[in-house]
Amino acid sequence: MIGSTFLLAAMMAAPSAAETAAIFTAAGARPRGKDWTMCGEDPKAKARIDLYRDLNSDGLIDVIVVEDSLRCYGQSETSFVLVSKQPNGKFRQMFASEGVAEVLDTRGVGKWPDISIGGPGFCFPVVRWNGREYANQRRQYMGKPCR
């Protein structure tokens, strides 16, 4: 017997072309040829969907869009945008940052996961959803607090 978690994951495997366009638009990306970009200054920068699943168990899909570019994002060389599908079917931008997103097991309001923002160095900021926005909550490295 296949578990319901597996079936749910299989149903959320890939967005349609229309949903992909809505996701990139909500993330602030613009079409460039057959690709999408969040940074118009780098002709090689291409936005991509890095995560596509329900992060807070509300039955609606959440997406992390990522783009790599040294020219646009400096030393971190990457940025990400978290967007969430709303009950009305539209996508809403929840958070955006330069750096590498790591979805953590710890949670904020509404079961939204904390997000560690990685980059150069060893002590990374962690943001938590407070019901209105993702806000700085702590700093950590490899799951342990740091300053």
Backbone conformation region of residue 105, classed left if phi is above 0, alpha if psi is from -120 to 50, else beta: alpha
- What distance in Å separates the CA atoms of residue 87 and residue 91, rounded to the nearest whole number? 9
* pLDDT value of residue 20: 96
Confidence of residue 3 (pLDDT cuts 50, 70, 90): very low
Which residues touch 67 (CB under 8 Å, ≥6 apart)?
29, 37, 38, 39, 45, 46, 47, 48, 73, 78, 79, 80
Contact 116, 102 (CB under 8 A): yes
Q: pTM score, two decimals? A: 0.87
pLDDT digits (tens, 9 = 90+) for 17-48: 999 999 999 999 999 999 999 998 999 999 99
pLDDT digits (tens, 9 = 90+) for 44-87: 999 999 999 999 999 999 999 999 998 989 888 999 999 999 99
Confidence of residue 12 (pLDDT cuts 50, 70, 90): low
Token digits for 101?
């997103």
